[in-house]
Amino acid sequence: MPVGTQATVKGLSQRDLWDDLRARLILGNTYHLFLRPGHESIRRMGGLHKFMSWPGAILTDSGGFQVFSLSGLRRISEDGVLFQSHLNGDPHKFTPESTVDVQLAFGSDIAMVLDECPPYPVSHEFAREAMERTVRWARRQLVHFRRVAPDLPTRHALFPIVQGSMFPDLRRRCAEELVQLDADGYAVGGLSVGEPRPLSLDMAEATRDILPADRPRYAMGVGMPDELPEYVARGIDMMDCVLPSRNARNGWLFTSEGRVVIKHARYKEDPSPLDPNCSCYTCRNYSRAYLRHLFQAGEILYASLATRHNIQRYLDIMAQIRHSILLGSFPQFLGGVRGKVSDPLD
């Protein structure tokens, strides 16, 4: 899922996403859209799909992750979380029920439960308390969701989120409790909070055999291109990450032949396309030399062309994975990727 934090994937139009990149599901951030322009405003504008003119599906997070990572002063209680807007310091409150209502006001096709996402590292006891609260909140939210959603003219799903920090026993317990809720899909959250990358994969592995195989499973906030098949190998169906779009803007491009840091002098007069194996608009029409020039000059077009390519690269990898699964050759695909895993900090 390309990430459209503020109801836009930065640098791309909805036509770019839908017609050219053929993205069908994008992510919006509840925390940001709740603060600005506000969920009631978006509801009055006909919902998020109409507001941003997006013909595809939308998944929204619950806002919990941003409350814990972005906002000032926050206080968690059984009732919810009090926080201050990072924009102007205004106090707000999210309760498990209110975040469901906010996401239904957006018209999100897939809504996420409010959860408590601990930083890394935390003690087993801290992680256990956060996980148990996450489970209690998820129960409340499913009850609320099942009371209000049937009256709506549109269909929605609400995914609970597996937490438990980096403790496999807590993650398994959490998943076992959440499976009782018989939800439409499940998420694995609390990853990408600063832990070593292999640990994130171990946490996805921990609940692989507990989450139901016939429901989509969503790993939140991952990962590097080489990690996508690793998550799929651990039973994950859906992922979102700001890396392709954010790194594109910062001059870091993902290609089928590895990483390209476009500002490097070696690309100054390189007439070749960014990625000879990519069919995106950027690669079909422009040279590395031109992209480097736009980047160095701080031109807006650079961000647009670079983002377009990086998202195409991610969608291509997922398409290759799906294709190999259908052909029964996913193990070979995975082996090929593992042979050339690159260090993300390289």
* Cβ at position 11, least distance to Zn ion in Å: 14
CB 49 within 8 A of CB 110: no
Give which of 201, 206, 303 is closest to 251, Cα–Cα: 303
> Based on CB atoms, which residue is closest to Zn ion, 130 or 315?
315
> Based on CB atoms, which residue is closest to Zn ion, 138 or 305?
305
Give which of 108, 124, 94 is closest to 43, Cα–Cα: 108
Residue 248 within binding range of Zn ion, rule CB under 5 A: no
* Cβ at position 333, least distance to Zn ion in Å: 20
Site map 143..172 versus Zn ion, x via CB under 5 A: ------------------------------
Q: Which helix (H) or strand (E) holds 217?
A: strand 217-219
> Based on CB atoms, which residue is closest to Zn ion, 40 or 299?
299
> Based on CB atoms, which residue is closest to Zn ion, 164 or 273?
273
Rounded to the nearest 5°, which phi and psi values hold at 110? -125, 115
H helices, E strands: number in the chain? 15, 13
* Cβ at position 255, least distance to Zn ion in Å: 8
| Active-site annotation holds for 346 | no
Give which of 251, 245, 249 is closest to 300, Cα–Cα: 249
Give SS3 for 319: helix
* Cβ at position 302, least distance to Zn ion in Å: 14
Give SS3 for 197: helix
> Based on CB atoms, which residue is closest to Zn ion, 85 or 250?
250
| Active-site annotation holds for 61 | yes
Applying the rule CB under 5 A, the residues between 267 and 306 that interact with Zn ion are 275, 278, 280, 282-283
Q: Which of 16, 115, 240, 275 is catalytic?
A: 240
Site map 306..335 versus Zn ion, x via CB under 5 A: ---x--------------------------
* Cβ at position 244, least distance to Zn ion in Å: 11
* Cβ at position 59, least distance to Zn ion in Å: 25
Q: Encoding tokens for residue 62?
A: 């619950």
CB 130 within 8 A of CB 163: yes
> Based on CB atoms, which residue is closest to Zn ion, 49 or 309?
309
CB 35 within 8 A of CB 67: no
**How far is residue 106's CA from residue 108's CA, in Å, rounded to a whole number?**
5
Size of residue set near Zn ion by CB under 5 A: 6
Place of tokens 């000059």: 297
* Cβ at position 8, least distance to Zn ion in Å: 21
Q: Which of 61, 109, 275, 316 is catalytic?
A: 61
Give SS3 for 328: coil
Give SS3 for 76: strand
Site map 191..230 versus Zn ion, x via CB under 5 A: ----------------------------------------
Q: Which amino acid is at 62?
A: S
> Based on CB atoms, which residue is closest to Zn ion, 69 or 279?
279
DSSP secondary structure code for residue 324 in this structure: H
**How far is residue 111's CA from residue 116's CA, in Å, rounded to a whole number?**
16
CB 96 within 8 A of CB 140: yes
Catalytic residues: 61, 240
| Site residues (vs Zn ion, CB under 5 A) | 275, 278, 280, 282-283, 309
